[in-house]
Homo-oligomer: A and B are copies of this chain.
Amino acid sequence: MGSDKIIERWVPQFRKGLLEFIILLKLQQGAIYGYELAIEIKKLTSIEVAEGTLYPLLNRLKRDGLVTTEWQTAEVGTPRKYYKITTLGLETLTKMKTVWTNTHSSILNMVMQS
């Protein structure tokens, strides 16, 4: 098996948890609805989030109180469910940033040593 195949299997695993972090980062900039969020994430990180990944994840964030939701209907178009980050979400995000920063510097050290 080539390394490409291995990477292909690894990347989704690598993303686990990371997606939650990325979504909260994006939500920090303002409320957004699911479909737009998927497009934004792809634009910003080149990560293609499947809808079967995104919606359950957003529901988990809501269940845990990190986001709230609000339906918005317009005269035209399908109703959109907007997600907004809560105080708890912002608190959590701050801690995630710390974990990310620490992990990054550890890994950077290991890369340097090699």
Contacts and interface: CB of A to CB of B under 8 A. Distances in A.
Interface residues of A, number: 46
A100 interface: yes
Contact of A46 (B12, B45, B102): B102
B18 A15 contact: no
As for how many copies of this chain the complex holds, the number is 2
A100 B111 CA distance: 11
Question: DSSP majority for the A interface?
Answer: helix
A95 to B, nearest CB: 5
A14 B99 contact: yes
Interface stretch (A20-28, A48-56, A73-81): A20-28
Contacts of A103: 14, 18, 45
